[in-house]
A and B are shown apart, each in its own frame.
Chain A
């Protein structure tokens, strides 16, 4: 996952490099992903989220649709 200056920069980069346009979203949502995924990573009790839990976390950040499905 990369950080671009704007949607126009994503479009141009995808076109030039032949990369399929995936999902783009705000940096605030990316920060929320970082928190949801890693806030407890140093806890002894940490465990990987199940696909269902991960999809619920994505949806809570407004990341929905087929791109974000794990099952």
Chain B
């Protein structure tokens, strides 16, 4: 693994760990300070990770909007585990949070059509039986055309 690849891996892991610990992603400056690296080097890593679809920035900024499955802004998918609570970007990502953490979780969401709230429960690596369906409007090959909409 080259030095750039290793550095980007370290930045990625720092971003995720900080996001999980604090409930919000670090800025470039915070990541640089936490990793003991320069802001310029860290910004370059952020940009490479964004180009590689690992991070998504809020439009026109270097502020992390998504480090999937985690989302920095409130969504319709709240995920709570024994170690914290986070927003999932969508139902796929909401399920991805307990999968990533290896923890049980309660996912609170609501039907976009009728607004009725409902909870989904992940226990012991399984989703407990639940009524409902997932719907994906955008075909797979177009997901990254507008990832905010997807």
Q: Which residues of A contact B120 (CB under 8 A)?
A: 3, 27
Q: Which of A27, A44, A67 contacts B133 (CB 8 A)?
A: A27
Q: Which residues of A contact B118 (CB under 8 A)?
A: 3, 5
Could you tell me which residues of chain B, from 111 to 150, have a CB within 8 Å of some CB in chain A? 111-114, 116, 118, 120, 122, 125-127, 130-141, 150
CB of B107, distance to nearest CB on chain A (Å): 9
Number of interface residues of A (CB under 8 A): 45
A37-51 interface code vs B (CB 8 A; 1 in, 0 out):
111011010101000
- Check A5 against B140 for contact (C-beta < 8 Å): no
Known: A3-B111, A30-B92, A68-B140. A25 touches B100 (CB 8 A): no
Number of interface residues of B (CB under 8 A): 50
Residues of B within 8 A of A (CB): 9, 12-13, 16-17, 52-54, 68-69, 76-77, 90-102, 109, 111-114, 116, 118, 120, 122, 125-127, 130-141, 150
> Could you list 19 A-B pairs, sorted by A, with CB under 8 Å?
A2-B112, A5-B111, A12-B113, A21-B137, A22-B138, A24-B134, A24-B135, A26-B134, A27-B132, A27-B134, A28-B127, A30-B91, A30-B95, A31-B122, A34-B96, A34-B97, A34-B98, A38-B97, A41-B100
Q: Which 9 A-B pairs have the closest CB atoms?
A: A34-B95, A38-B96, A9-B113, A31-B127, A13-B113, A30-B134, A34-B96, A22-B137, A1-B90
